[in-house]
C-alpha cells in the first residue's frame, strides 16, 4: 500500500508543512481551540471517529472547515484536493467545555431568594447547558433580585432557566388599593391572591368584605382597581 502524502496549507501563517493523520487531528483541535479558548476556562477535544486515508501517492492540499456547532459531538469536514481529484472526509469529534460559573452551594427550594450565601464560583463542565442554549450566570452581581424557579440541588449551575426575577407583588402580601372614580377617590387595604410585576393585573381580596377583585400593579406597595 502506498503512503499518502498530505500538504497542509495554513493561510493565516503563510507556510506549508507535510502532514499525516495525526497532524490532521492536531489541526482540528487547533481550529476548535482558536474559536473557544478565549471564551472558556478549558476546552477538551476528542476525535471519536476518523476515516481511513487510503489513496494513491499524491500531494494533497488540506482544508479543515469550521462546523456550525463546535460544542458537544459534531462532525468536522476535511477537504483533500490534489491536481486530479477532490475528496471530502468527515471526522467525528467531541468537544467539552469547562468554565468558572456560579453554582449553588446548598439545596434551594422553589421561590427561595438567591443570595451570596447560597452560591459560589466553581469550575464546571457547562457543555450540556451550552447545548441546551441556556444562559449561564457567572457573576455574583447577576443574582440581584433573583429566586429559584424550581427545586435546585447543591452543585447545580445557575442559569436563566432555573432562576427567575422576584415579582414586585408576592402572594398574600397586603397593600393599598386605589379606587379612581369621577366623584370620589378611595384607598383600601387588600391582600394579593397571586404574584405580579408592575403593569400586571392580578386578583386581590378585600379583607373586610372578603370579595375578590382585579387590580393593576402600580408599585411594590400599591395597586389600582380595574373596573
pLDDT by residue (tens digit) across 123-135? Answer: 999 999 999 999 9
Q: Would you say 16 and 9 are in contact if contact means Cβ atoms under 8 Å apart?
A: yes
Element (H, E) at 131: helix 127-131
Same-domain pairing of 151 and 192: no
Backbone torsions φ then ψ of 65, nearest 5 degrees: -90, 135
6 pLDDT higher than 60: no
- Return d(Cα 100, Cα 11) in angstroms, integer: 34
Number of folded domains that form the chain: 3
Same-domain pairing of 116 and 132: yes
Q: Would you say 227 and 213 are in contact if contact means Cβ atoms under 8 Å apart?
A: no
> In this structure, are strands 59-64 and 42-49 parallel, antiparallel, or unpaired?
unpaired
What digits encode the pLDDT tens for the residues 89-118? 899 999 999 999 999 999 999 999 999 999
56 pLDDT higher than 80: no
> In this structure, are strands 86-104 and 42-49 parallel, antiparallel, or unpaired?
antiparallel
Torsion of CA 144, 148, 152, 154, to 10 degrees: 20
Provide the whole-model pTM.
0.76
Write out the residue range of the structural domain in which residue 28 sits: 5-91
Burial class (CB in 10 A: 0-12, 13-18, 19+), 212: exposed
Same-domain pairing of 181 and 134: no
Amino acid at each position: 500500500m502506498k503512503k499518502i502524502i498530505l500538504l497542509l496549507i495554513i493561510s493565516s501563517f503563510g507556510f506549508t508543512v507535510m502532514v499525516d493523520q495525526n497532524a490532521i487531528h492536531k489541526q482540528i483541535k487547533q481550529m476548535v481551540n482558536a474559536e473557544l479558548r478565549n471564551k472558556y476556562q478549558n476546552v477538551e477535544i476528542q476525535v471519536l471517529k476518523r476515516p481511513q486515508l487510503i489513496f494513491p501517492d499524491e500531494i494533497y492540499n488540506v482544508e479543515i472547515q469550521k462546523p456550525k456547532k463546535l460544542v458537544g459531538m459534531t462532525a468536522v469536514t476535511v477537504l483533500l484536493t490534489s491536481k486530479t481529484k477532490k475528496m471530502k472526509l468527515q471526522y467525528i469529534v467531541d468537544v467539552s467545555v469547562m468554565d468558572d460559573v456560579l453554582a449553588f452551594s446548598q439545596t434551594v427550594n422553589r421561590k427561595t431568594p438567591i443570595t451570596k450565601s447560597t452560591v459560589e464560583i466553581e469550575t464546571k463542565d457547562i457543555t450540556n447547558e451550552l447545548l441546551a442554549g441556556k444562559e449561564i450566570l457567572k457573576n455574583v452581581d447577576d443574582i440581584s433580585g433573583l429566586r429559584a424557579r424550581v427545586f435546585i440541588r447543591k452543585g447545580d449551575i445557575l442559569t436563566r432557566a432555573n432562576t427567575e426575577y422576584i415579582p414586585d407583588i408576592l402572594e398574600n402580601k397586603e397593600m393599598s388599593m386605589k379606587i379612581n372614580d369621577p366623584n370620589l377617590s378611595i384607598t383600601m387595604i387588600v391582600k394579593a391572591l397571586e404574584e405580579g410585576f408592575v403593569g400586571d393585573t392580578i386578583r386581590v381580596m378585600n379583607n373586610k368584605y372578603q370579595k375578590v377583585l382585579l387590580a393593576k400593579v402600580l408599585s411594590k406597595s400599591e395597586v389600582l382597581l380595574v373596573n
